A and B are shown apart, each in its own frame.
Chain A
Amino acid sequence: MIEEMHIRNFKCFAEQSLSGLKRVNVIVGPNGSGKSALLEALFLVAGSNPGEAIRIKRIRGLEIGTVRLTKLDYEALWRDMFHSFDQEQAIEISLGNQNGMVRSLRMAYEKNSVVVMLLGSHSKEYDATAITPITFEWRFLGGDPIKVAVELRPPELIFNPPGPPPQFPMSFIDITPASSSEEIASIFSECSKRGQESVIINALKDEYPFLKGLSIEITGGTSTIFASVENLPEKIPISHVSSGIGRLFTILLAIRSRENGIVAIDEIENGFYYDRMPSIWSLIHRFAVQYDVQIFASTHSWECLQAAAACAEQNPADFALVQTPRLGSEYPFAVHPGDMFALAMEQRVEIR
Chain B
Amino acid sequence: MVTKPSGLELKETKLVIVEGRSDQCLIQHLMDHHEISGIQVLCPGDLNEQFGGVEAIVKLLGALKLNREFHQVQGILLLIDADEKPGDQFTKIRSLLQNAPGGWPVPDKLGQPARKEGIPAVTVHLLPDNETPGAMETLLWNAAVKVADRQKLVECIETFEQCIHAYHGEQRHDEKWLPQKRDKLKFRCLISAVNPKNPDLPTTRLWEGEETRALVPLDSPVFDSLVNVLQGMLVNPAKA
Contacts and interface: CB of A to CB of B under 8 A. Distances in A.
B194 interface: no
A351 to B, nearest CB: 5
Nearest to A301: B5
A351 B66 contact: yes
A121 to B, nearest CB: 56
A346 B59 contact: yes
B7 A349 contact: yes
B7 A351 contact: yes
Contact of A336 (B44, B45, B66, B71): B66
B63 interface: yes
Residues of A contacting B: mostly: mixed
Interface in A325-352: 326, 331, 334, 336, 339-341, 343-352
A323 B68 contact: yes
B45 A347 contact: yes
Given A340-B62, A343-B62, A346-B59, A351 B3 contact: no
A321 interface: yes
A348 B59 contact: no
A352 B45 CA distance: 17
A273 B71 CA distance: 35
B16 to A, nearest CB: 16
B101 interface: yes
Given A302-B6, A303-B3, A348 B46 contact: yes
A39 B165 CA distance: 66
B66 A341 contact: yes
A306 interface: yes
**How many residues of A sit at the interface, in one of the four size bands?**
20 to 34
Contacts of A345: 7
Contact of B66 (A302, A326, A331, A340): A340
A345 B7 CA distance: 8
A340 B100 CA distance: 11
Contacts of A303: 3, 5
Q: Which of A336, A341, A346 neighbours the largest number of chain B CB atoms within 10 Å of its CB?
A: A346
A17 B44 CA distance: 33
A10 to B, nearest CB: 22
Contacts of B214: none
A294 B85 CA distance: 51
A289 B55 CA distance: 33
Nearest to B47: A348
B9 A350 contact: yes
B173 interface: no
Given A323-B68, A326-B68, A349 B63 contact: yes
A306 B71 CA distance: 24
B4 A302 contact: yes
Interface in A289-343: 302-303, 306, 321, 323, 326, 331, 334, 336, 339-341, 343
Interface in B15-49: 44-46
A321 B6 contact: no
Contacts of A351: 7, 66-68
B8 interface: yes
A350 B65 CA distance: 10
A302 B63 CA distance: 16
Contact of A350 (B44, B45, B67, B101): B67
B227 interface: no
B18 to A, nearest CB: 14
Contacts of A339: 101
A344 B66 contact: yes
Contacts of A343: 59, 62-63
A349 B67 contact: yes
11 contacts: A306-B3, A340-B62, A343-B63, A344-B7, A344-B63, A347-B59, A347-B60, A349-B8, A350-B7, A351-B66, A352-B68
What 8 A-B pairs come out closest when comparing CB atoms?
A350-B7, A347-B63, A348-B46, A344-B63, A344-B66, A349-B63, A351-B66, A348-B7
Interface of A: 302-303, 306, 321, 323, 326, 331, 334, 336, 339-341, 343-352
Given A349-B7, A350-B6, A350-B7, 15 more contacts: A302-B7, A303-B3, A306-B3, A326-B68, A340-B101, A343-B62, A344-B66, A347-B51, A347-B59, A348-B4, A348-B8, A349-B60, A349-B64, A351-B66, A351-B68
